[in-house]
Amino acid sequence: MRRIGIGLIGSGFMGRSHTLAFRAAPAVLAPAAVPVLEMLADIDEPSAAQAAQSLGYSRATADWQALVRDPAVHLVDITTPNALHKPMALAAIAAGKHVYCEKPLAASAADATEMARAAQQAGVQTFVGLNYLKNPLLAAARAMIEGGEIGTVVSFRGIHAEDYMADPLQPWTWRLDPAGGHGAVADLGSHILSIARHLAGDIVEVSGQIATVVAERPVARGSTAMRAVAVDDQARALLRFASGATGSIEASWVATGRKMTIGFEVTGTKGTIAFDQERMNELQVFTAGQPRGREGFRTILTGPDHPPYGQFCPAPGHHLGYNDLKTIEVAAILDALAGGPRFAPDFAEAARIQACVDAIVTSARERRWVSV
């Protein structure tokens, strides 16, 4: 079986989640290639060595460029702050490596498009960590929509709301670095826009609104020195889809009390499908034509009829978790690298999502509808 040398750059939240997935995928989902945890790079030698040791990588380095060049690394996995995605991905592509990169792919649609083109010219495969698309219930929702179970889609309403930046004393972080692009509209908006596109198709026009709620933040926890915030904390947009459907999205990292709301409601002429990531094993479905006085949404729970759930657990209703979505994502990447089905979303799709993000920001700043 083909062996894929993994070179991980960054060992924070996502670096650990990706590694869990590389470890779990062969045991749970038996992909067509075996990942080999070859090398880990982080900001300095001690943190790289410590992370490599605890996560199980054979070698550690403080020089990500050495990792990218290393002949035993076949897939460069980028889980660093957003501003670093582009230089790291372009260097990996130039070295002929396949690239798995976290979202948002780049600071702008122009950068993301440049990365997608470079990958295409180099003939390497690309993969983006928009893991919520890998929920088996998303596949079920899409199949129901494509099968006409809710009729013609007329509306998509989406939200991604969390509250990890709601406290004004939460210090300045790389997430607020304009070199990495926009704020919540890119960080969280990229997820809900990916779902909107997945379920309702191309977005052709947007009318956006963005706001910075906390204008300055401490430079470090407990510090009285402040640093200005130049990106948005919350964003909204009205959407027009190519199909003629209309919709809206919201993205906020200051949504006090909301921990992991990725919610959507797709409404069709004959029914509605609704979902919330805080209850990620439930799909709410309403279909028209029920007896009067008995109408209502029904709840579909994940189970073995929603592949690949059954490979995690033979019994329905026992629930998948966040890291299982990453395991599904990683198994699909390994299959694609072994010549299996093409992986989505790739850099080209992430560039289209980024184009929606950029259009929302332009629309908000210029106070007009903007074509994507």
Ligand X SMILES: NC(=O)c1ccc[n+]([C@@H]2O[C@H](COP(=O)([O-])OP(=O)(O)OC[C@H]3O[C@@H](n4cnc5c(N)ncnc54)[C@H](O)[C@@H]3O)[C@@H](O)[C@H]2O)c1
Indicate the residue whose CB is closest to ligand X.
Answer: 12
| CB closer to ligand X out of 11 and 108 | 11
64 binds ligand X (CB under 6 A): yes
Nearer to ligand X, 160 or 272 (CB): 160
CB atoms within 10 A of CB 266: 26
201 within 8 A of 142, measured Cβ to Cβ: no
Q: Work out which of 59, 98, 103, 236 binds ligand X, going by CB under 6 A.
A: 103
- Residue of the chain from 41, 140, 210, 357 that contacts ligand X (CB under 6 A): 41
Q: Which stretch binds ligand X (CB under 6 A): 73-81, 240-248, 262-270, 278-286?
A: 73-81
Minimum distance from CB of 251 to ligand X (Å)?
Answer: 13
* Residue among 11 and 113 whose Cβ is closer to ligand X: 11
d(CA 133, CA 152): 21
Q: Of residues 19, 108, 113, 131, which one binds ligand X by CB under 6 A? A: 131
Beta bridge partners of 41: 9, 61
- 14 near ligand X, judged by CB under 6 A: yes
Q: Which is nearer to ligand X, 194 or 272 (CB)?
A: 194
DSSP single-letter state for residue 298: E
Least Å from the CB of residue 240 to ligand X: 27
Minimum separation from the CB atom of position 41 to ligand X (A):
5
DSSP H or E segment with residue 352: helix 347-366
Examine residue 129 and tell whether it contacts ligand X (CB under 6 A): yes
- Kindly tell me which residue out of 5, 6, 7, 11 binds ligand X, with binding defined by CB under 6 A: 11
Distance CA 12, CA 58 (A): 18
CB 187 within 8 A of CB 83: no
- The crossing angle, in degrees rounded to 10, of helices 45-55 and 13-29 is 20
> Among 12-20, 162-170, 208-216, 265-273, which window interacts with ligand X (CB under 6 A)?
12-20
Residue 76 neighbours by CB under 8 Å, 6+ apart: 7, 9, 67, 68, 88, 89, 92, 97, 98, 99, 100
Our CB check for ligand X shows the closer of 51 and 300 to be 51
Q: How far is CA 181 from the centre of its chain?
A: 15
For the bound state, the minimum distance from the C-beta of residue 12 to ligand X, rounded and expressed in Å, comes to: 2
How many angstroms separate the first and last alpha carbons of the chain?
Answer: 43
* Rounded (10°) CA dihedral 280, 107, 252, 258: 40
Among 5, 7, 10, 271, binds ligand X (CB under 6 A): 10
Out of 81, 171, 303, 304, point to the residue binding ligand X (CB under 6 A). 81
Query: Any contact of residue 84 with ligand X (CB under 6 A)?
Result: yes
> Count of CB atoms within 10 A of residue 41's CB?
31
Element housing 277 (H / E): none
CA distance 242 to 281: 30
Does 138 interact with ligand X (rule: CB under 6 A)?
no
User: Distance between CA 157 and CA 237 in Å, rounded?
Assistant: 10
Q: How far is the CB of 322 from ligand X (least distance, A)?
A: 8
Q: Kindly state whether residue 13 participates in binding ligand X, applying the rule CB under 6 A.
A: yes
**Which residues, in sequence order, are bridge partners of residue 2?**
33
**From the CB of 184, what's the least distance to ligand X, in Å?**
11
The distance of closest approach from Cβ of residue 44 to ligand X in the complex, given in angstroms and rounded to an integer, is 8
Binding residues for ligand X (CB under 6 A)? 9-15, 41-43, 64, 79-82, 84, 102-103, 129, 131, 187
